[in-house]
Amino acid sequence: MDRSETRVKYTASGLKNIGVFDSGFGGLTMFKEFLKVLPDYDYIYLGDNARAPYGNKSDEVIYNYTKQAIDFLFKQDCELIIIACHTASAKALRKIQQEYLLKNYSDKKVLGVVVPIVEEAIKLSRYHKLGIIGTKATINSDAYKKELEKLRSDLKIFQQACPLLVPLVEEGWVKKPETKMILKKYLLPLKVKQIDTLILGCTHYLFLIKDIIRIMGKNVKIINPAIAVAEKLAIYLDKHKDLEKKLSKNKKIIFYTTDDVIKFKELGQRFLGKSIENINKIIL
């Protein structure tokens, strides 16, 4: 079958939605918080599950995948898009904002997760010793480190790539002793550095937050990325009244996945913490 024949046929609804994009399921943990803080809006969630994870891919590939997702969501009448994927935010957002939007969607907005999380970390840090855990791509990008240093020049920043955690979470191995052992191995170098604040630079890590808190101890502040981003989004909409007025408020949610719909429903409900309906498969 020709690739074009498998594409979903869609038409603009006339509604102005908030788009939420992630490379897979992890963004649903962030979307869950959006629905708590901003429940009245209409949302479209897109998970590029067929091509996940993004964390081990090149910068060029991550940018192209992100661009395709952004393009799709804008064609679905999204007025604002949140890139809930830490890797895409770290590796593609700046180029999307500075080049792609200016050429193609100058009246639209795309926001990421790095800046809101960094601002919260700076606020909570007592001794300015911060740790960051994330995928290889996120850590190698230095995106969090660069944004932290923009806000303060006196920080001590320690980073740790944790490539095994995402597949372990998606396999449902959160409570397995093997996962706890691997997590401890990743976190020990940061604990030795006596950090006071830890940034979870991946949406999947919220499933491990209880063990992370236990391993790091009560003196380390753990930044919950979902809460930080949801609260900043609410503030952003409050400050940008012209944009906010364009958004429809019917509490309507549509899900798109690039992979199997049944799998998305089964695993997605675990990430979102509620039943998922209205799921559509697309090819980007």
Cα→Cα distances 194→117, 157, 189, 205, 219, Å: 20, 11, 9, 20, 9
Cα–Cα distance for residue pair 158/193, rounded to 1 Å: 8
Q: Rounded to 5 degrees, what are φ and ψ at 159?
A: -120, 150
Give the β-pairing of 43-47 and 17-22: parallel
Instruction: Choose the catalytic residue: 202, 230, 253, 276.
Output: 202
Torsion from C-alpha of 163, 166, 167, 173, nearest 10 degrees: 120
Whether omega before 53 lies within 30 degrees of 0, making that bond cis, reads yes
Q: What residues does 256 pair with on adjacent strands? A: 46, 280
**78 catalytic, yes or no?**
no
Mention every residue, 6+ apart, whose C-beta is less than 8 A from residue 14: 77
**Which runs of consecutive H residues, i.e. helices, occur in 76-207?**
86-91, 93-95, 101-104, 114-124, 136-141, 143-151, 165-170, 177-192
Instruction: Choose the catalytic residue: 85, 115, 165, 206.
Output: 85
Q: How many CA atoms lie within 13 A of 239 on its CB side?
A: 6
Q: In this structure, what token pair is assigned to residue 253?
A: 């949610």
**162 catalytic, yes or no?**
no
Residues designated as active site? 85, 202
